[in-house]
Structure 1
Amino acid sequence: MGENVRLVKPSPEYKEEYLDFHKEWKSSGEDMIPWVIKKDPSDFNEMIQSLLDAEKGKNLPQGWVPDTTFWLVEENNRVLGVVNIRHSLTENLMNSGGHVGYGIRPSERKKGYATKLLSLSLEKTKELGIDATLVVCDKWNEASKRTILNNGGISDKDFIEEDGNVILRFWIKSDG
């Protein structure tokens, strides 16, 4: 699984597929990760514009860094997942956010899509000039940890949040 997929920039062309993705995730009751899928898609064009603006560093909240969002789609344009790539790291992102945040829609998990999504994302971080990509996950999230390790993640010092949650931190060096 996970072979015939590609990353696309958010676009009105994928409206129905994205709304289906968003609805499925919302109805699952799970936390929406990465954070960009929490954006209200009811004004779809406005949501798309905000994502494209963020990539250019426009209209960002104070202290935020530019970020690029991609949607993972299969041949029929079904949106399977979303990745958000931060172009640089603040202290907070260095501790518990990392360069890359990603998620796969609930009905498509355990099929290899997360590993492929992270692999494709690492190509994008390399294009952005990021030589070593920081990817993090909660200690309890074994699936995410495996995905990161499958993509060459090298363990770094854990970060413990104020509530005691342990964040595992991994670096993935770009090859070449």
Structure 2
Amino acid sequence: MKLLEPNLEIKDAFYEYINEWKQYNEKIVPTTLRKVNGDYEDYVERWSKESRGMVREGWVANTTFFLVNDDDYIVGSCNMRHELNDKLLEIGGHVGYGVRPTERGKGYATVMLKKCLEHLRTLGVKKALVTCNNENAGSKKVILKNGGIQDESFVEEDGTIVNRFWINLEGELI
């Protein structure tokens, strides 16, 4: 399994991935993929620019990755924020990730988060913030397996409780 940035060669695999989320009537995670309803090529270019820090006001540099197997079958996707702003300190953190519905429970999210943490370390991030909704027991397990230490939770305006975890990137990753 490897992390792969969006590219034109995996366009068909990308749409297959997105369509599976829709078939299961689930919100696509990470949210950066929810807005793809136009030209895939334009989105690949946008994601590339965002990775290089060319972002809209209020956003931070971020990189979107797909977790793929040797056949470029997309198992999951993640969005890694290179730094945190005030909003990301409360909800979102450094990494958002999701695994396609038919591939859950196989350890892919744990692998994907670890690979994102390795990338963050190369950017000089010393501690990564990863968040998940309180009712998402699976994501909480993934974060804890990657060394997450729970911090204060955050309550959104709608009452949703967001758990916040810090992961030290200075030592060896779990």
The TM-score with structure 2 as length reference comes to 0.95
Alignment pair present for 1:18 and 2:27: no
SS of the aligned residue for 2:143 comes to: helix
Q: Is the 8 A contact 1:14 1:77 kept in 2?
A: yes
- State the superposition RMSD in angstroms: 1.0
**Percent pairwise identity:** 41
AA at the equivalent of 2:156: E
How many residues align structurally?
171
Q: Is the 8 A contact 1:67 1:84 kept in 2?
A: yes
* Other-structure match for 1:28: 24
Q: Which runs of 4+ in 1 moved over 4 A?
A: none
Equivalent-residue separation in structure 2 for 1:161 and 1:57 (angstroms): 28
Equivalent-residue separation in structure 2 for 1:27 and 1:47 (angstroms): 22
SS of the aligned residue for 2:124 comes to: coil
Alignment pair present for 1:111 and 2:106: yes
Equivalent-residue separation in structure 2 for 1:35 and 1:137 (angstroms): 13
SS of the aligned residue for 2:45 comes to: helix
Equivalent-residue separation in structure 1 for 2:167 and 2:32 (angstroms): 23
Q: Unpaired segments of 5 or more residues in structure 1?
A: none
The TM-score with structure 1 as length reference comes to 0.94
AA at the equivalent of 2:149: I
Equivalent-residue separation in structure 2 for 1:73 and 1:174 (angstroms): 24
Equivalent-residue separation in structure 2 for 1:46 and 1:27 (angstroms): 24
Equivalent-residue separation in structure 1 for 2:37 and 2:105 (angstroms): 26
SS of the aligned residue for 2:152 comes to: strand
Q: Unpaired segments of 5 or more residues in structure 2?
A: none
Equivalent-residue separation in structure 2 for 1:162 and 1:39 (angstroms): 23
Q: Is the 8 A contact 2:61 2:83 kept in 1?
A: yes
User: What is the Cα deviation at residue 41 of structure 1?
Assistant: 5.0
- 109, 126, 129: which is aligned to 1:131? 126
* Other-structure match for 1:84: 79
- 62, 67, 74: which is aligned to 1:67? 62
Alignment pair present for 1:164 and 2:159: yes
Equivalent-residue separation in structure 2 for 1:118 and 1:38 (angstroms): 20
Equivalent-residue separation in structure 1 for 2:78 and 2:92 (angstroms): 13
Equivalent-residue separation in structure 2 for 1:27 and 1:130 (angstroms): 37
- 43, 46, 50: which is aligned to 1:50? 46
